[in-house]
Amino acid sequence: MGEPGRGLRPSDLLTFPEPDRRVLMLAVRQRRITAETLVQRCGLTAEAAAEVLQRLAEQGLLERVGDTAPATYAPAFGGTRP
């Protein structure tokens, strides 16, 4: 795991269960993602995509970018691995 106070390292992404791992890796590659992106790129339903985004935001791994519609998220990496 990353050093205390430094958040996650890229290799820590591999420790997450699916679909969280796919979502976080996509967020890192694309820098910003929406639920629609997850439906298209990860094969999630719209409901599942929204749930994953919300959960990862609550864990401090993603952060919402502004008050855009649809909601846009970027990697935060202040959280800890499971």
Tens-digit pLDDT profile for residues 7-64 = 567 788 889 999 999 999 999 899 999 999 999 999 999 999 999 999 999 988 999 9
**Structural domains counted in the chain:** 1
3-class state of residue 38 by DSSP: helix
pLDDT value, residue 1? 42
**Residue 52 belongs to what domain range?**
10-75
Q: Which two tokens stand for residue 69?
A: 């519609």
pTM: 0.79
More confident residue, 69 or 7: 69
CB 79 within 8 A of CB 7: yes
The Cα-based distances of 55 to 3, 50, 52 in angstroms read 23, 9, 5
What's the CATH code of the domain at 71? 1.10.10.10
Work out the pLDDT band at 2, boundaries 50, 70, 90: very low
